[in-house]
């Protein structure tokens, strides 16, 4: 019988996501993938998956699931109350799940996005264009290109017991920020000096118009350049200024091209915290340079790499005792049957 997790309650908006399909933007397909890629990678790291293994991404309210097989799981991202068989479980550490267990992920108390990773390869739905990520507006990837629904069966693999997994946990200082770093966009110089100063001096808030395509910001409108533009390719984190002077930060499910001027781009290292910011929270844009943006991203990735190397070294060390004892017992049984 196939191994799967049955959806009892789907949550507010739960989808299958991996790192997306960036190589297919040129063909007109959105990149998609996890919104908070750092939290997504941490979840896979905890359960010893490849960094691109598909996980469940849930928004504000998580799903309730029933397992028909054994597994190890990890929950990361914004803070959420979760229970396994009515008993509270912690985030950012590995939890062993036995067949028949029910996992309940409740409402998020901080952040917008959470991630649930399953051991032994994650969700094994059918890949589309090199990715299992769900893109809702094109109805592709994941589970039939949509959010999860009651009675869906999410395909996963059964997991063997690995002592090195059971002790894994990681300390994460989850917090959003009141500053968002950006680098100047390709159309920065098209804006007046007054508009440039206003962009970096005023406080913005994320409006209620926020989804996986982008977050519209509220604040004093900027003067928009009169010059019309041809459509150009978009990047995760582009800050477009619409005709009414309002910024929109383009995110994972953004359109592949856009014709609004791009005043800046949020740096990758800050995007993870930015997407977790609640509607109405005040923040300011702070300019930085490419080198600093690169250094911040490298440092963020170093945390994951260092932790992986430490755990990977223990992966084969810890199970040696049980394996040796089993081998001795097998040899004893063979000799006794001769």
| Total domains present in the chain | 3
- In terms of domains, do 73 and 57 share one? yes
Domain of 265? 179-288
Tell whether 171 is covered by a domain: no
Element (H, E) at 239: strand 238-241
Judged against a pLDDT cut of 50, whether residue 230 lies above it is answered with: yes
96 and 166 Cβ atoms separated by less than 8 Å: yes
- Ranges 126-135, 239-248, 292-301, 310-319: which has the least confidence: 310-319
Residues 11, 152 share a domain: yes
pLDDT at res. 159: 74
What is the tens place of the pLDDT at every residue in 20-69?
999 999 999 999 999 999 999 999 999 989 999 999 999 999 999 999 99
| Residue 315 binned pLDDT confidence (cut-offs 50, 70, 90) | low
> What is the per-residue pLDDT across 98-133, written as a single tens digit (0 to 9) for each?
999 999 999 999 999 999 999 999 999 999 999 999
DSSP codes joined into one string, 16-75: EE-S--GGGGGGT------SSHHHHHHHHHHTT--TT-BEEEEESB--EEEESS-EEEEE
- CATH number where 29 lies: 2.60.120
CB 29 within 8 A of CB 21: yes
327, 252: one domain: no
DSSP string, 92-159: SB-EEE-TT-EEEEEEESS-SEEEEEETTTSB-PPPBTTB---BGGGTBSTBTTB---TT-EEE----
- Give this prediction's pTM: 0.89
| Residue 300 domain-assigned (yes or no) | yes
Domain's final residue, options 117, 142, 166: 166
pLDDT in tens, 166-184: 557 777 766 667 899 999 9
> What is the mean predicted confidence (pLDDT) over 226-248?
94
Res 165 pLDDT > 60: yes
75 and 155 housed in the same domain: yes
């Amino acid at each position: 019988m196939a191994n799967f997790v049955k959806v009892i309650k789907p949550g507010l908006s739960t989808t299958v996501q991996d790192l997306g399909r960036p190589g297919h933007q040129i063909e007109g397909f959105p990149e998609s993938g996890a919104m908070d890629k750092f939290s997504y990678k941490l979840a896979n790291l905890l359960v010893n998956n490849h960094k691109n293994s598909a996980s469940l991404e849930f928004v504000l309210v998580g799903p309730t699931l029933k397992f028909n097989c054994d597994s190890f799981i990890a929950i990361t991202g914004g803070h959420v109350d979760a229970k396994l068989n009515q008993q509270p479980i912690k985030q950012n550490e590995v939890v062993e799940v036995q067949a028949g267990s029910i996992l309940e992920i409740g409402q998020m108390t901080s952040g917008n996005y959470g991630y649930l990773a399953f051991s032994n390869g994650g969700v094994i739905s059918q890949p589309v264009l090199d990715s299992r990520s769900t893109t809702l507006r094109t109805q592709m990837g994941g589970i039939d290109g949509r959010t999860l629904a009651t009675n869906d069966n999410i395909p996963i693999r059964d997991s063997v017991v690995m002592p090195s997994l059971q002790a894994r946990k990681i300390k994460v200082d989850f917090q959003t920020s009141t500053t968002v770093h950006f680098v100047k966009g390709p159309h920065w110089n098209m804006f007046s000096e007054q508009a440039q100063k206003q962009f970096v001096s005023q406080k913005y808030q994320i409006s209620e118009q926020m989804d996986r395509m982008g977050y519209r910001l509220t604040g004093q409108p900027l003067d928009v350049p009169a010059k019309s533009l041809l459509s150009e390719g978009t990047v995760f984190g582009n800050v477009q200024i619409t005709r009414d002077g309002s910024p929109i930060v383009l995110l994972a499910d953004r359109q592949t091209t856009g014709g609004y001027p791009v005043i800046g781009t949020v740096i990758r290292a800050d995007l993870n915290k930015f997407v977790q910011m609640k509607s109405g929270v005040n923040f300011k844009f702070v300019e930085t340079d490419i080198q600093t943006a690169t250094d911040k991203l490298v440092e963020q990735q170093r945390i994951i790499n260092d932790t992986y190397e430490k755990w990977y070294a223990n992966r084969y060390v810890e199970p040696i005792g049980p394996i040796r004892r089993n081998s001795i017992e097998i040899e004893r049984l063979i000799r006794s049957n001769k």
